Amino acid sequence: MDVSRRDFLKGLTGGIFATTLIESTLGSQSMAETAGAIKIKDALANSSICPFCGVGCGLIAHTVDGRLVNVEGDPQHPINQGALCSKGQAVYEVVTSPRRLKKVLYRAPGGDHWEEKDLNWAIRTLAQRIKSSRDGSFINKSEDGTTVNRTEAIASIGAAVLNNEECYLISKLARSLGLIYLEHQARL
Ligand code: SF4
């Protein structure tokens, strides 16, 4: 759309007029009351990183008494400078959505329904299955006789939600098990 200088000045004048009209309608006290009702007024601002993709945009998460009340882009962050894509703008829902999963759901191999499981059961079962897959597929030597001590039956895929230290520990654990297929979302 082409906007002439005259149109721009007319629009500017209209904007100033609208703001003046709102102020005179609400009154200065009402404006102050409105500002007082802003939900982040007394909130604690915590900086964080969007967990959804490898771009790693900076977030500010506002909490009141430990309860999340708002999430927005961090204007000081060098990557996104306050901007967030539609997924990042919806990150608040990861915590607050009534559809958020709070229990382990398990579907058995060949099963057709999900069962609720205890977190300790899930951790123990995962550990047992990783161990049995690893032991059952472990290769000591390659075809030409070179010692390789590896498994090709398990892969590790990291997500952007992992920080440097977590990635370091996960890669250490994976390599100690003999995994050679290690990937991370930020590299894909
Ligand atoms: S806001 Fe969007 S682009 Fe930025 S890290 Fe999140 S998902 Fe990726």
Each residue's pLDDT expressed in tens, for the chain with a length of 188 residues: 566 666 666 655 555 545 444 555 555 556 556 655 687 888 999 999 898 887 889 999 999 999 999 999 999 999 999 999 999 999 999 999 999 999 999 999 999 999 999 999 999 999 999 999 999 999 999 999 999 999 999 999 988 778 789 999 999 999 999 999 999 877 76
pTM over 0.75: no
User: Would the CB of 84 count as within 6 Å of ligand 1?
Assistant: yes
The secondary structure element, H or E, covering residue 19 is helix 5-36
With tokens 């057709």, the residue in question is 112
- Determine whether the shortest distance from the Cβ of 88 to ligand 1 is under 6 A: yes
Give the C-alpha separation, 70 to 90, whole Å.
11
- What pLDDT is attached to residue 131? 97
Distance 32 CA to ligand 1 centre (A): 34
Radius of gyration from C-alpha coordinates of the chain:
26
Q: Where on the phi/psi map is residue 66: left (φ > 0), alpha (ψ -120 to 50), or beta?
A: left
- Distance of CA 182 from the midpoint of ligand 1 (Å): 23
- Euclidean distance between CA atoms 16 and 18, whole angstroms: 5
Minimum-distance ligand 1 atom for the alpha carbon of 88 = 1
Please work out whether the CB of residue 73 comes within 6 Å of at least one atom of ligand 1: no
Backbone dihedral angles phi then psi of residue 17, each to the nearest 5 degrees: -65, -45
Rounded distance, CA 105 to CA 166, Å?
Answer: 24
Q: Is 159 in the pocket of ligand 1 (CB under 6 A)?
A: no
Q: Is 186 in the pocket of ligand 1 (CB under 6 A)?
A: no
Is 134:160 a contact under the CB 8 Å cutoff?
no
Q: Six-digit token pair at 152?
A: 């090709």
pLDDT in tens, 123-174: 999 999 999 999 999 999 999 999 999 999 999 998 877 878 999 999 999 9
